[in-house]
């Protein structure tokens, strides 16, 4: 099956509690509303990719429970190709609870469940039927599943994009097979051990990461923009962020990743253009309320640029 993008990652049922301000320690507050959504970084990236007019498949795991069935139904409704999703009988579907404040900032607590129960053997079997130009993954599944997937994608000649998130799941070996790594500020600090306060710090961090053998590095600085370092050109490029009024930052990084992977499946050699398109998509996402329905389509992105 010849695809443009295979995305692998976490699948969770997200429960988002909306408040005016984050509660203080031990404080009880009345929330404005509760949203129950299909989430997880993998799901968010898969939905994004499904909206970019590319052929794709989503590889991940859910439990053999009601949440798992509901999530697969939700993803199918969004146009995600779910045939490669593994149903685990030995672990529950991942669940996350998030708090979102009045300016859209968020904090999450997650039980990863089936995501962490994925085995190398399951991934290797799934890859037998997967061929694609680009492979995108993050680190919210078990380490053995990540390494197995990276090895399989490398053997099949896929262009590998690693979103090294969340920072607490980072491990050094994950960089070894990667063509492009896309850490945010906190993740870049975790990888390099240096504090990142500005664009110049981000450039230093990108070069340090590249020195581990990664050909291309994007350090994302949120509202400031992104720094791209291309090893082959020994060149840093700063891509400015789009200025918008943020109402919900949940999924912004996943929207960026999904659009980036989709654009690179069309033209692998134009990283700057792909980043600019992904930056525009992320800006549209944070300016909208909602979860997967707020992720822009390719048509919406192109019309807004």
Catalytic residues: 254
Give phi and psi for 51, each to the nearest 5.
-95, 5
291 is in an annotated binding site: no
Distance CA 186, CA 228 (A): 16
Closest by CA position to 180, among listed 198, 199, 143, 153: 153
> Is 290 a known ligand-binding residue?
yes
Residue with tokens 């997880």: 40
76 is in an annotated binding site: no
| Helices 185-192 and 199-210, axial angle in degrees (round to 10) | 50
With H, G, I as helix, E, B as strand and everything else as coil, classify residue 210. helix
Question: 42: annotated binding-site residue?
Answer: yes
**254 in a labelled binding site:** yes
102 labeled part of a ligand binding site: no
285 annotated as a binding-site residue = yes
Residue 220, marked binder: yes
On whether 24 is known to bind a ligand per the annotation, the reply is: no
How far apart are alpha carbons 25 and 285 in whole angstroms? 30
Instruction: State how far the Cα of 209 lies from the Cα of 124, in Å rounded to an integer.
Output: 28
Residue 111: closest CA among 40, 58, 167:
40
40 is in an annotated binding site: yes
140 marked as part of a ligand binding site: yes
Residues 6+ apart with CB under 8 A from 303: none
Residue 109, annotated ligand binder? no
Q: Is 13 annotated as a binding residue?
A: yes
Lookup: tokens for 127: 């890859």
| Contact predicate 231/215, CB 8 Å | yes
Binding positions for substrate are 12-14, 40-44, 140, 254
Q: Which residues are annotated as a binding site?
A: 12-14, 40-44, 140, 184, 220-225, 248, 250, 253-254, 285, 288, 290
Q: Which residues carry a binding-site annotation for ATP?
A: 184, 220-225, 253-254
Question: Could you tell me which residues are annotated as the binding site for K(+)?
Answer: 248, 250, 285, 288, 290
């Amino acid at each position: 099956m010849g695809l443009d993008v295979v995305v692998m990652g976490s699948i969770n049922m997200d429960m988002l509690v909306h408040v005016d301000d984050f509660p203080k320690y031990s404080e009880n507050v009345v929330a404005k509303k509760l949203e129950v959504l299909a989430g997880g970084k993998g799901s968010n990236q898969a939905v994004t990719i499904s909206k970019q007019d590319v052929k794709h498949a989503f590889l991940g795991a859910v439990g053999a429970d009601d949440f798992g069935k509901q999530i697969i139904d939700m993803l199918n409704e969004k146009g995600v190709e779910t045939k490669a999703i593994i149903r685990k009988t030995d672990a529950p579907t991942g669940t996350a609870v998030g708090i979102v404040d009045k300016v859209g900032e968020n904090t999450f607590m997650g039980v990863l469940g089936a995501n962490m129960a994925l085995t190398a053997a399951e991934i290797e079997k799934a890859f037998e039927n997967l061929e694609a130009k680009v492979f995108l993954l993050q680190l919210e599944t078990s380490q053995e599943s990540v390494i197995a997937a990276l090895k399989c994608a490398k053997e099949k000649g896929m262009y590998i994009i690693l979103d090294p998130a969340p920072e607490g799941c980072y491990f050094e070996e994950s960089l070894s097979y990667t063509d492009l790594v896309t850490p945010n500020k906190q993740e870049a600090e975790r990888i390099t051990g240096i504090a990142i306060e500005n664009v110049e710090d981000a450039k230093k961090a990108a070069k340090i990461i590249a020195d581990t053998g990664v050909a291309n590095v994007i350090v994302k600085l949120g509202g400031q923009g992104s720094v791209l370092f291309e090893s082959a050109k020994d060149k840093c490029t700063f891509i400015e962020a789009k200025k918008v009024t943020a109402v919900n930052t949940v999924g912004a990084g996943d929207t960026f990743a999904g659009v980036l992977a989709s654009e690179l499946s069309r033209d692998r050699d134009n990283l700057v253009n792909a980043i600019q398109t992904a930056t525009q998509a992320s800006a549209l996402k944070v300016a909208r309320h909602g979860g997967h329905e707020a992720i822009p389509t390719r048509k919406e992105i192109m019309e807004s640029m």
